[in-house]
Each structure stands twice: as structure tokens, then as C-alpha cells.
Structure 1
Amino acid sequence: MLDSYEHVIEAAVFIAEQMTATAPQLRVLGTSREPLHVAGEHVYLLKTLESPPDAARLAVNEALRHPAVELFMERAIAARGDFALSDDSAPVAAQICERLDGIALAIELAASRVDAFGVHQLLNLLDNRFSTLAQGRRTAPERQKTLLATLDWSHQLLPDTERVVPRRLGIFPGVFSLGSAAAVAQDENLAYASDRCGREPGGKVDAVGERRSDAVRYRLLDTTRDYARRKLADPGELDMV
């Protein structure tokens, strides 16, 4: 099993090909957002955990049919043994899961804060999710102790071009087209960064392409968008974009 290998992908490709060539019955499982692009590879997309689409009038038993709420409930009980969802709090828990895009780590971090804030206040605090979800397990890897640390870890592994594109796409509040993405992402600095990364001029399209849907529309998860906007403000690009 090769876990989160995107920062050493060339070595991962070499290892996977050498092992499977030497032992044809061997199977290699890779967990990453970056495919190996080798012969015989099969890519499976793992979606985020499902949250109730309409949480306004949701009873407890209905909420718990959704994996995101089930995980929230399990982790909240672990943090506070007497925690229980009611028909009043179940819709709020479902909204928390939806606001966190069904991201398992974010849901776990949120559930661990139920003891301090309760579900209603916790939902309100998600307007500043990176400050609220800043207390993970002490024994967790550094990159999984907070939501911000997780995104920072991924962001720092990106080449220059792929850092520029997602932060500029953070200005879109919802879905957008590839043409719109290119319009806000492209400038002389980006072209220069593309050249430095050894990409062709079309490389900026590759940096966006992982957000593709069947309808050829794109969107960032709310959590990713919030992070992108934080990064967009850092270089002073916000007004220009």
C-alpha cells in the first residue's frame, strides 16, 4: 500500500512497476489524489461522505442513515459519553456535515468540539472553520491535527503553477466553466510558472481539470474555496482577480 505518495510520485511509480513486474500476482493499492499513470492501473474515485440533501425537518433516525452524520455521531459520543442527537439537534448536525463537504477528517474534528460548544453553537462557528477545527488528536500526524494543517500540507507540495490556479479559482461562489477558470487564472506570471514547471502552455488547464464533472462544469468544495481565498489574499492578488 502506497499512502499519500504525491510528493514522491516518481519513486512511487518506479516501486509499483518494479514490484508488479517481479511478482505478477501482487496488487498495489495507492491512496492519493494523483494517479500513477502506469500500465494496468485502475482508478477509483472515493467521494466525500454523503450528507442529507435537505436537513430542515430531519428526524434522528433519518439523519443517521447518512454516513456523514453517522460518523459525526460516533465521534461526538467518543468525545462526550452522554451526547445524543434529538429531533431538534439532528438537522443541525446534518448541516454541520454538509458545511464541511462530507470530509471525514473535518467531521471528526468538528465532532470533538461538541463538548465545548454544543451542536448549535458549533454550526455558527463554522463561519471561521479553520480556527474552530484546530484541535485534533495529540497522537495524530502533524498534517492531520487541524483542518488548516491538512490543507497546508497538500498546498505546500504543489508546484508554483498549481498553487496559483486554485487560489484564484476561490473567487467563484459556485460552479464555473473551464473558460471562466482560464480567464481568472491566466496571466504572464502563470505562464512563466508553467514554463518553469516544464509544462506546455496548456498546463493551466491540467491544474483545473481534476474538478471536472460529467456536465463539464467545475466547483471547489466549500472548505477548499475558503482556504483558496485565504491564500489569494496573501499575495495581494484579490483585487486584480
Structure 2
Amino acid sequence: MTSSSPDGSRPETAQAEQDFRRFFAEQFNAVLDRHVHIPRGHGRGQAVAALFGITRATAGKWLSGEGLPDLWRLPQIAQLLNVDVNELVGGSTNAMLIDDRYIALQLHGQDSPDELMPLFLQPGTLQHTSIVPGCLIMQVNATDMPTFAPVGDLVIYNPGIKWFGTGIDVYVLRVQGRYVLRRAVRTLRGDIVLSADDGQMQETFSPTDFTSDSGSEGPQIYVVGRVVARVLTRGGGSA
């Protein structure tokens, strides 16, 4: 029989989390030691609170190893301290799994697909999802899919899925050089029907109108990947 801690986690998991909190605190303090505007000792908590817009209690937990910053704050912390995120969490941002503690997925804007930055998640958040190594995240800035993904929300897509099924799925497509989200379904005749939430587009295409070649510069629609999850930034939650 396996015992568990009061919060329901296994002892080895709880210990690993505690070890990582301490590790982060050590790295965080080491970076702060090199920052000329952050004092050592008693005044450090207040300075950290002011720099990152948090309470002194929260700053104290980061510094002592009793707590961790929200994952979305990691790039912000690194930028303000002029360091790489690696210095704070260890590992490599090029790998999906970072020391079994954080997972890095590459994030890009809908209008800037070549400008990638890592977004850090806890491994447990990917359980029971279709998110696999190699998935990418796109921040939506177009208004043509407001029901599925309003402006500002994030969609996670798998660039390894470039085929259409008979069920209705949402895909990231490149159309005339622009990245767009579209619902897609393959008809029994084999045609592909694309539609947007705003009702401005519902067209039927032949399979020959699409390409899986990212280097294609022709009129074909490039299938970037199929959306496998959403992160709703307004109203909370993920789907």
C-alpha cells in the first residue's frame, strides 16, 4: 500500500516539489545577488515585491523556497533581471521537458509565427490531453473565430497532424501568407469544407487545394496543424 501526504500527493512527489522550490530560491537569490538595485538581507523582500508587483509575503516565499511564481511569470522575471529562464529553472528551453519540473512549449503570435518564445507549464497539466512533444502555441489576434478562440486566447496545435477527418476539427492554416483558424471537415465526396465563426467564410475546397509543404509559395493552402487544446485567457480555464 502506498502512503500519501495530507494533500493527497505521494511522498516522493511532495519531496520533489519541495526540492524544486528550494532550488528555485537558490537560483533566484543568486541572480538577485548580481542585480545592483536589489539589496541583500532584510530589504530584499520589499525590493522584489516592488519590482514584480507582488506582495511582500509572496516575495518572501519565492526567496525562502516556500513558494513558486506562477508559471506565466517566468519569462517576465527573466526579462526584468536580464537573465535567461534557464538560470531560474535549470535545464534547456529547447527541450520539451525541463528537469521533470517544467515543460516548455513554444509560443508565437498569429501574425508572427517565426518569433517563438517558451511558455512553461507543469507536466501534470498535460495529462489526459492530446498535447505531445512538438506541439506549438499560437496567441489569437484575429476576430473571425470569436466563439472558439477570442482575441488574446491561446490555441495549442499539433504540426504533425496535417490531414482532415470526417469530424469537425479546428486547424491552423496559412492562407496567402497569413495564419488563420478554421473549422474543417471532409465530406463523403472527399472535399474539404472550411468555415469561420463570424459567418464570413464557408467554402468547399478540393484536396488538391491544400499542401503540407511548408516551403510552398503557390496559391495552395498550407496545413500548419490541428488544434488539440485551448487556453482561455478570459473567463479562465482550458479546453
TM-score (norm 2): 0.27
Higher helix fraction: Structure 1 or Structure 2? 1
Of Structure 1 and Structure 2, the greater strand share is in: 2
The structure that has the greater radius of gyration is: 2
